[in-house]
Amino acid sequence: MTSLAQVLKPLDPNLSLPLYQQLQRAVREAIDKRLLGPDDALPSERQLAEDFAVSRITVRRAIEGLAQEGWLVRRQGSGNFITNHVDKNFGKLTSFSEDMRARGRHPHSVWLKRAEGTVNPEEALRLALSPGALVYRFHRLRFADSAPMAIEFATVVASALPSPESVTDSLYAALEKVGNRPVRALQRLRALLLNAEQAKLLEGKEGDAGLLVERLGYLRDGRAIELSQSFYRGDRYDFIAELNAA
């Protein structure tokens, strides 16, 4: 049987990235390349240690981190199994890029559309803009490592950015650079079924479960600055929220 170490990039003790983090990256890569799928058992600690030429302590630390991130579920007496989910804290205002980097994954985007235009009636209502006001629209396919995670449609008030081209990897990074990053947002989550176009982009099947996240972001002075819709594959993204009694 082929081991993961035979098909993935070997770990390098000379890198600044600790070996346990390199092993975590290797497991995530195996998931993204579909070498490991949902509910597949992860090789044993002993097997991983032998295959990647690291200590059991390194393996154990990598597994603990992957379990905390939501990539693995630990079943008493059975082992560690792949979940292939990413958790998103629904109560924290962060960008997609920040979410992915916090989990040790590499975010990147494929542009579907980047343009200047005038507000449509819904955008004018939600963003409190006058008819004819200029906005920038950013449509992207968002990736974590090599896996497509979301289709994002964002509309931003044009006065908030120098130009549409000022957004490269992260919209929030571009907004922050000019002092216009949202400080609060109203966010709504809704379940849906992916249509044919969405399923194709997200490498799923038409009718698969999906998640729609709508966000309206505000500046500190109360002005609405960003309106976005993001469509996620339901089997790859989980949203969590911390609740407290009043």
Q: 56-69 vs 45-52: helix axis angle to the nearest 10?
A: 110
Whole-number pLDDT of residue 99 = 76
DSSP string, 70-101: TSEEEETTTEEEE---EEEETTS---HHHHHH
How many angstroms separate the CA atoms of 147 and 142, rounded?
Answer: 9
The alpha carbon dihedral of 44, 50, 54, 55 has a sign of: positive
Residue type at 153 in one-letter notation: F
Give bridge partners of residue 215 from the DSSP assignment.
187, 228
Whole-number pLDDT of residue 156 = 98
Domains of the chain: 4-82 (1.10.10.10), 90-240 (3.40.1410.10)
Residue found by looking up tokens 């040790």 in the block: 104
Whole-number pLDDT of residue 86 = 57
Give bridge partners of residue 88 from the DSSP assignment.
239
Whole-number pLDDT of residue 39 = 77
**Mind listing the pLDDT tens digit of every residue in the chain (246 residues)?**
567 777 777 888 888 888 988 898 888 778 767 788 777 888 889 999 998 999 999 999 999 888 876 678 888 888 888 875 555 656 667 788 877 776 667 888 999 999 999 999 999 999 999 999 999 999 999 998 888 999 999 999 999 999 999 998 889 989 999 999 998 999 899 999 999 999 999 999 999 999 999 999 999 889 999 999 999 988 777 666 655 565
Cβ atoms 31, 75 nearer than 8 A: no
Q: Taking the CB of residue 242, how many other CB atoms lie within 10 A of it?
A: 8
Residue found by looking up tokens 């998103």 in the block: 88
Whole-number pLDDT of residue 32 = 67
pTM for this prediction: 0.64
Name the pairing type of β-strands 86-89 and 237-240: parallel
How many angstroms separate the CA atoms of 92 and 74, rounded?
Answer: 27
Whole-number pLDDT of residue 84 = 52
Whole-number pLDDT of residue 3 = 73
DSSP string, 152-173: EEEEEEGGGSS-GGG-SS-HHH
